[in-house]
Amino acid sequence: MKKRSLVLVTVDCLRADHVGFLGYSRPVTPALDALAENSIVFSNAIVAGAPTYFSFPAIMASRYPLALGRDVLGIAPHELTLATSLRGAGYTTAAFLAGNPYLSTRSGYDQGFATFRDFLESSYASELPLGLQAAKPLSNLNRRIAAESRRTDLTAATYDELYFWYCQWRSRRENLSMDELRRYPAADVLVNHAHSWLSSLGGEPFFLWLHLMDPHHPYYPPSEALSSLGLSRTTPLRARFLNSFWNRFDIGARRLQRYRDEILSLYDAGIYWADRQISRLVQVLQQLQRWDETVFVATADHGEEFLEHGNRYHSPTSLPEQLIHVPLLLRSPELSGRHLSGGPFSLIHLAPTLLDAVGVEAPDRFQGRSYWREISAGNLPSEPAIVECVGACDNPFQPADRMRPRLMAIRDAVYKLVVNFNGDFMGTTDSFFDLKNDPGEHSPLPDGVMPDERARLLQVARAHLQATQHNRNIELRLLAHLREIQQSSAK
């Protein structure tokens, strides 16, 4: 029997409640919605970590992000992954990733791919930590004024306000298009590369991974996407203003709220563009007569926050549903479409499930297990999902930033416990939610309420931490450290 091929499309920052097939009312995902009719749709797919650098070890290597030690970033050298497994089984492999610096050769994501393009060598600017993005070269005079202004809160706020509007005035003189403002290659660029690569193949089985960045901030969707959603009045200049304002950290949520709807429209237009290009990719597979043999998966590495809990973007300062609940659809030729509303389904199980779906054995080292049999039968057993990251780690390339306390969520179908280990390890601040009655996570249950459920989730957390320590792979850990030394000495 001919081996199945596999296409994995990951969309950065795509949250579950912004796709039509999970109930979003704005028509931003018509292609995925149509695909969902013939796919297995997971209503409760939960990432194993957030953001990108804490999510992808699970997606690609079925490994919890802190399992090798929180000081290890990315995939360790020689770590077995979805790609290495498929390549070892004779698959031709390729990855086209839209310029996310955390998904690069530096972090080991090229392992197992015969063709690997991360688009970081191109003219697209690197993803910088938010603080750096906001920074502009200041003149010496301006630097002195800025320093002086910090003497009081009032003068600091006045300076920040004036400087913001000065920058807006300056940017008016530059007439840049959306394409010039965007930091990443848009999805059409990635699909063009994928098209060429797919066309070059013979009949061999293949694994293709596309990572799309269109919904990622700064939000500069193609003008065509805005027009298609009836948003053509949003000019590049307006989008630039909105992104600059949204990126301000010197003002409160009340002022930011004023532009939230417009920012959401830009975000949605990015999703729309990714969706449209996914549709093109499916057409390419159909034209090349590879569609009927291909398992096709679309998901996300994490979601995005728009002030629901006071935060923007996807910094791991908390783990709300907006950040950890992602869309997941899996289309396999022999399976008819259905929604699996049980769960949750942790993405730690995705790689072994996909390998099972194409008939390739999963490595023993994987921490997740295959759910293929259950999924094929239309069942999804309820098992708590664990999400972990290093709290407030916004720049993981700085080793010190990775050595902060863990932030962890344990979520089952009804309850969710977020354990926030504080800095001096003298105690914890837990948030315990009943998602059935409080899906927006607005009212944490007081201490003493539902103690059995709280303790059950704490036991899951405890078992996870024990397993992390007992099962740590020292060899991979050392290899990752050696790689980091090699990289820093090569600079």
Partner 1 sequence: MRTQYRTFTLPEDLCAAAEKRLTGQFENLEALLSFLLQEIAKDEAGKLDLAEEQIIEQRLRDLGYI
* Contacts to partner 1 by CB under 8 A: 66, 69-72, 403, 405-406, 419, 421, 425, 427-428, 430, 451, 454-455, 458-459, 461-462, 465-466, 468-469, 472, 474, 477-478, 481, 485-486, 489
261 burial via Cβ count (<10 Å: 0-12, 13-18, 19+): exposed
Between 132 and 403, name the residue whose CB sits nearer to partner 1: 403
* d(C-alpha 95, C-alpha 114), whole Å: 8
Give the pair of three-digit tokens for residue 304: 């995005």
Between 237 and 458, name the residue whose CB sits nearer to partner 1: 458
Give the pair of three-digit tokens for residue 459: 């036991």
Between 202 and 427, name the residue whose CB sits nearer to partner 1: 427
Residue 482 Cβ vs partner 1, minimum distance, rounded to whole Å: 8
Between 332 and 468, name the residue whose CB sits nearer to partner 1: 468
Between 145 and 478, name the residue whose CB sits nearer to partner 1: 478
Between 236 and 405, name the residue whose CB sits nearer to partner 1: 405
102: nearest Cα among 16, 15, 12, 179: 12
Residue 462 Cβ vs partner 1, minimum distance, rounded to whole Å: 5
Residue 343 Cβ vs partner 1, minimum distance, rounded to whole Å: 24
Cβ contact 243:218 at 8 Å: yes
Between 93 and 468, name the residue whose CB sits nearer to partner 1: 468
Cβ contacts of residue 6 below 8 Å, gap of 6+? 86, 91, 206, 207, 208, 294, 295, 297, 354, 357, 358
Residue 103 Cβ vs partner 1, minimum distance, rounded to whole Å: 22
Between 312 and 483, name the residue whose CB sits nearer to partner 1: 483
Residue 488 Cβ vs partner 1, minimum distance, rounded to whole Å: 9
Residue 262 Cβ vs partner 1, minimum distance, rounded to whole Å: 41
Residue 1 Cβ vs partner 1, minimum distance, rounded to whole Å: 43
Between 72 and 263, name the residue whose CB sits nearer to partner 1: 72
Between 329 and 479, name the residue whose CB sits nearer to partner 1: 479
User: Which residue bears the tokens 């959401």?
Assistant: 264
HEC per residue, the chain: CCCCEEEEEEECCCCHHHCHHHCCCCCCCHHHHHHHCCCEEECCEECCCCCHHHHHHHHHHCCCCCCCCCCCCCCCCCCCCHHHHHHHCCCEEEEEECCCCCCCHHHCCCCCCCEEECCCCCCCCCCCCHHHHHCCCCCHHHHHHHHHHCCCHHHHHHHHHHHHHHHHHHHCCCCCCHHHHCCCCCHHHHHHHHHHHHHCCCCCCEEEEEEECCCCCCCCCCHHHHHHCCCCCCCHHHHHHHHHHHCCCCCCHHHHHCCHHHHHHHHHHHHHHHHHHHHHHHHHHHHCCCHHHEEEEEEECCCCEECCCCCEECCCCCCCHHHHEECEEEECCCCCCEEECCCCEEHHHHHHHHHHHCCCCCCCCCCCCCCHHHHHCCCCCCCCEEEEEECCCCCCCCHHHHCCCEEEEEECCCEEEEEEECCCCCCEEEEEEECCCCCCCCCCCCCCCCHHHHHHHHHHHHHHHHHHHHCCCHHHHHHHHHHHHHHHHHC
Give the pair of three-digit tokens for residue 45: 């797919």
Residue 309 Cβ vs partner 1, minimum distance, rounded to whole Å: 23
Between 69 and 129, name the residue whose CB sits nearer to partner 1: 69
Residue 472 Cβ vs partner 1, minimum distance, rounded to whole Å: 7
Residue 34 Cβ vs partner 1, minimum distance, rounded to whole Å: 45
Q: Alpha carbon 237 to chain centroid distance?
A: 27
Residue 459 Cβ vs partner 1, minimum distance, rounded to whole Å: 7
Residue 114 Cβ vs partner 1, minimum distance, rounded to whole Å: 24
Between 127 and 430, name the residue whose CB sits nearer to partner 1: 430
Residue 121 Cβ vs partner 1, minimum distance, rounded to whole Å: 23
Between 72 and 98, name the residue whose CB sits nearer to partner 1: 72
